[in-house]
Amino acid sequence: MEVNLSLGRTQFGNSAHIGNVLTEVEALELLNAWVANERLRLHMKQVGAVMKAWALEREKLPETEAHKWLLAGVLHDADWEKHPEGHCRIIIEELESRQIDPAIIQCIASHGPRYFGVEPQTIMDKMIYVFDELSGFIHAAALIRPTRYEGMDVKSILKKLKTPAFAAQVSREDIQDAISRIDTQLEEIIAFIIQNQKDVQ
């Protein structure tokens, strides 16, 4: 039976806390304290790296704003391992208690609208939804290749997306929904992810 993960609200954080952020070191400390699974930690770091790269390269945002994208990516699944039944709610409450910028918290709440009941509003929200499932899927594809990311091409990822048995837990429906909300083609997103997460450790 699927657990109801709906957050029951669509407003997060406090506008008085705009600009309040964790440092990258503090975020990684939280990540390491909450998540024991190395593969899950890597996934969150990869999403964080891709989020920051997109903010800087495609949205042309300043470093201070791109840092918020990084934090949302690094922490979006922080409660999933220890609190699967409270996924998203626990990390949101933690960040609210730390008086963190509401844009970061809103972004984390937006990474799975079908599950959490929060529709992505900003481009930051939409991109974490786009990157989350695809990042994990592409990494799964890399793991079965002898050369990992080296030589990986977009066509091979598209082919695997059409193979239901491969990484079956990844929702193709969510990927299609996420892509439909932005003005960038799936192929371009895949290439961007490969380029920007291949060296994350």
Q: pLDDT band at residue 161, thresholds of 50, 70 and 90? A: very high
- Token pair for 201: 């450790």
Q: How many domains does the chain have?
A: 1
Residue that has been written with the tokens 């008085």 in this structure: 16
pLDDT digits (tens, 9 = 90+) for 123-141: 999 999 999 999 999 999 9
pLDDT digits (tens, 9 = 90+) for 3-27: 578 998 999 999 999 999 999 999 9
Query: Which residues does 130 contact at the CB level (< 8 Å), separation at least 6?
Result: 178, 179, 181, 182, 189
What CATH code is carried by the domain that includes residue 62?
1.10.3210
**Domain range holding 62?**
15-197
Residue 2: per-residue pLDDT: 52
pTM comes to 0.94
- Token pair for 66: 């791109």
CB 139 within 8 A of CB 196: no
pLDDT digits (tens, 9 = 90+) for 81-116: 999 899 999 999 999 999 999 999 999 999 999 999
Q: Is residue 94 part of a domain?
A: yes
Q: Is residue 77 part of a domain?
A: yes
Q: Is residue 121 part of a domain?
A: yes
